[in-house]
Homo-oligomer: A and B are copies of this chain.
């Protein structure tokens, strides 16, 4: 099966997208893979498999490789007298801006290129953490209380310390800080406002139990990964996450009761259904007083959370064969025709 890994993007998570792509190169060996890189300037390059290493991009060597553009149904390499089409299902592996903010969804849909990844609406509701809160409220999924800041006005936010401060639309822990008391908050906000104009504040719960669960829909049913209890650190900073994105060793299932597992799956199902079809997502949950809380939706998880799936290649194949069909409105000219003929009378 042909599959194009699309990675890079003009995003703060550009580098981890490269790491994710390199990791998947090994994990999806039995596919007929091609690699398309989107650079800072939004130019696309076709990257030879043997050149899939981090330094190709950090040294700018990709610029010597064939440039592609988007065309109807395919990426296209234009020559002077002919052009070559790269037609395959795309795995959208651009983390953060461009990939997860709805841009790639809109582009790939517009050009009728099938893809694994969140659709436009799904992108918006996961990319902006405040919209995720609304989605959860609507769907009866518990989340932590929160405040939304767009300035340094934090006096009335009604959440007790310690708190966690996050740019509203970034992943991979970029710009995130834990703040233990008011003396630290200005600095934390400075850091977060470097990345975003809106900041989400939530209580930080020391030692809270965390569980991650990934899944995708194929043939109308959700296929779940194993449940992972991630290694406990206060939280993963960018460097740790960066290494985390190259994970490929399978992890052990968390030692949890059937009851908890089914609660996690039920929450995942509520998040996923009628929103994330076409994508493989990872949901990160908290367990507080035996209740499941959604912490975050990762609509394009690092290295596609390959390490959580029994047979990752098979999962991607199933998902690729089950992508939602885009209904395009049929254009007619009946009013113009009827008006023209009325005028002709």
Contact = CB atoms under 8 A, between A and B. Distances in A.
A75 B293 CA distance: 47
Contacts of A11: 329, 331
What is the count of identical protomers in the complex?
2
Interface stretch (A26-34, A104-112, A278-286): A104-112
A336 B55 contact: yes
A40 B81 contact: no
A71 B43 CA distance: 9
A166 interface: no
Contacts of A70: 70
A241 to B, nearest CB: 10
A138 B131 CA distance: 11
A100 interface: no
Given A69-B69, A106-B102, A335 B41 contact: no
Given A107-B107, A112-B42, A55 B340 contact: yes
A42 B101 CA distance: 22
Nearest to A337: B58
Interface stretch (A12-20, A151-159, A207-215, A223-231): A12-20
A120 B102 contact: yes
A277 B123 CA distance: 21
A134 interface: yes
A335 B237 CA distance: 13
Interface in A169-196: none
A253 interface: no
Contacts of A71: 69
A339 interface: yes
Interface in A132-151: 134, 138
Interface string A102-128: 110111011110000000110010001
A111 B42 contact: yes
A80 interface: yes
Contacts of A331: 10-11, 14-15, 39-40
B72 A43 contact: yes
Contact of A106 (B80, B106, B121): B106
Nearest 5 interchain pairs by C-beta = A106-B106, A58-B333, A40-B331, A54-B336, A58-B336
Interface of A: 10-12, 14-15, 18, 39-43, 54-55, 57-58, 69-72, 78, 80-81, 96-98, 101-103, 105-107, 109-112, 120-121, 124, 128, 134, 138, 238-239, 242, 328-337, 339-340
28 contacts: A10-B328, A10-B329, A15-B334, A15-B336, A39-B331, A41-B72, A42-B72, A42-B111, A43-B72, A54-B333, A54-B339, A55-B340, A58-B337, A69-B69, A70-B70, A78-B78, A97-B328, A101-B120, A103-B106, A103-B109, A105-B106, A106-B106, A107-B107, A107-B110, A121-B128, A134-B138, A238-B335, A242-B335
